[in-house]
Amino acid sequence: MKYMIMQDVFYIVVLMGLSIPLGNYIYKVMSGEKVFLSPLLVPVEKKIYKLMGTDGQEEMSAKKYAYSVVLFSVAGFVFLFLLLMLQGFLPLNPQKMRGTSWHLAFNTAASFISNTNWQAYSGESTLSYLTQFLGLTVQNFVSAATGIAVLFALIRGFTAKQKTTLGNFWADLTRIVIYVLIPLSMVVVLLLVSQGVVQTFSQYKEIASFGSGEAQVIPLGPAASQIAIKQLGTNGGGFFGMNSAFPLENPTILSNFIQVLSILLIPASLCVSFGKAVKDGKQGRTVYAAMLIFFAAALIAATASEQLTGPMLNGAISSGSMEGKEVIHGVGGSTLWAVATTAASNGSVNAMHDSLTPMAGLVTMFLMQLGEIVFGGVGSGLYGMLAFVLLTVFIAGLMVGRTPEYLGKKVEPFDMKMVCLLVLTPPLLTLLGTAVAVSMPFAASWLTNSGAHGFSEILYAFSSMANNNGSAFAGFNANTVFTNVTGGIIMLLVRFIPIGAAIFLAGNMAKKKTIAVSEGTLSTSNPTFIGLLIGVILIVGALSFLPALALGPIADFVTSR
């Protein structure tokens, strides 16, 4: 237990230490300031604008910004859908993989353009190398960049004074990819390859198994390049079906630490960027503190459950539950990853979440159900948290009889409508999808387990898809027409409804005058406000999901003792 505490503290310290300089760097990039990569990348940036036929300096209205996001995403969806269907006729397919079914192609395309990366397949037995790197890896970059771009559009809405524009989506997208995501990914790729993560275009290798001598096929591929951006971009889709529990995807203790650090690195850094952008570091630290408190509480609860409520051996509790975990990672490394990947909308795993103890499973599920705002996805997590900040400000304003204000802007009815879309869309679609799934007459055939744990498998699946996470309780058979189509629609709705709400919220905020701070202005950067914010988030989460959690992991815990 002592080792696990030291590991978790070290992780948080390193995360915070790296997030400050990276957050400052991202702010400078998005503000158009000169950075150390500018001499190399400014000419590249200009050539990209020329190739796209756009002017990077042109300002866009909220409507045009939203239209550009949707247009770009639709183009990506169509390209990926066709690539998945036609991969059997395309090159770089040494294992002769056939095209996927139409419903799996629909689900996978929806999953990757929405930054969910839910996988109803095993990559090594379903997808060609071309599909993996040209389809999935490219979407890992641009879907992550889209989330960050929308965040900065919202930030500009808060900082603008009586403006009707929010910046340029194409410029935001380009800068994020070439100045932030590609350089960081190159560093992480080199670190992962140094640890033995596979990166090759060679065919799969057939070897004789040790001892039995039976033939065994070892899957290969350009994995490291996809793994780096899947973690940094909070995408999470594994190159191999076992994800980061597979030795060729995550072979050492150091590779494990690099990957789990990468999951939260950019989301944490964006809190710093937010404080710099609004010219008030306290606001960034407030959001950062609320996220860290949730993360630490979840980590303590999940680790305690896995360590102290493991299986009974000879009448005594064993030293941790190791079911579904790799020995090299143990309880501590597996639990840290499980909490980090569900706090962010990442969804990669280094252990089987279906094998978590009931209370640890509840923690990972509830982190998703909060709306992926405890760091959350790159960009999307922070604009989701800012929606909760505005909701908290509004509630506090009602309590004291004042017009709610945030960052010098009045929070008015239209703003609250957009906030409600941001806050309520994920829980609504989670519960709706779960309800429809369990009502299907053949739902039992999708499950490995029955009873409360079987229900948890379905609830976890739709919590994951409706919160752009992508992880799963592996006992749920996801590759069915119903789940692929229903899940694909849910993933698209829960991605683009909040994106549209965030952009139009930004557009409305940008039009407003800035109000001077007075003695009666509610402070949004002190411990009291942090406590109120945490309370509002918990109340919304509890009211939305407590009945479902009672039928799933809570009932599973009670009946398994």
Summarised one tens digit per residue, pLDDT across range 494-506 is 999 999 999 999 9
Q: Is the pLDDT of residue 90 over 70?
A: yes
Rounded to whole angstroms, the Cα distance separating 263 from 253 reads: 16
> In sequence order, what DSSP letters do the residues of 327-351 get, joined into one string?
TTTHHHHHHHHHHHHHHTT----SB
Rounded to whole angstroms, the Cα distance separating 57 from 257 reads: 40
Residue 140 in domain: no
Structure tokens at 395: 């509630």
Rounded to whole angstroms, the Cα distance separating 394 from 410 reads: 10
pTM here is 0.95
Rounded to whole angstroms, the Cα distance separating 323 from 351 reads: 9
Structure tokens at 311: 């299986």
Residue 271 in domain: no
In total, how many domains does the chain have? 1
Residue 214 in domain: no
Residue 387 in domain: yes
487 closest CA partner among 552, 436, 448: 436
Average pLDDT of the segment spanning 520-546: 90
pLDDT at 323: 86
Give residue 311's pLDDT band: very low, low, confident or very high (50, 70, 90).
low
Domain limits for position 472: 379-560
Rounded to whole angstroms, the Cα distance separating 480 from 310 reads: 33
Structure tokens at 33: 């300031």
pLDDT at 215: 82
Residue 317 in domain: no
Rounded to whole angstroms, the Cα distance separating 50 from 44 reads: 10
Model confidence pLDDT, tens digit, residues 347-358: 999 999 999 999
509 closest CA partner among 59, 60, 160: 160
Eight-class DSSP state of 216: E
The crossing angle, in degrees rounded to 10, of helices 253-277 and 330-343 is: 30
- Contact predicate 508/65, CB 8 Å: no
- The span from the first CA to the last CA of the chain, in angstroms, equals 22
Residue 471 in domain: yes
Residue 438 in domain: yes
Q: Is the pLDDT of residue 312 over 70?
A: no
Question: Greater confidence, 541 or 510?
Answer: 510
Q: Is the pLDDT of residue 474 over 70?
A: yes
Residue 291 in domain: no
340 closest CA partner among 290, 375, 300: 375
For the chain, how many residues are written?
Answer: 561
Backbone φ, ψ for residue 222 (5° rounding): -75, 70
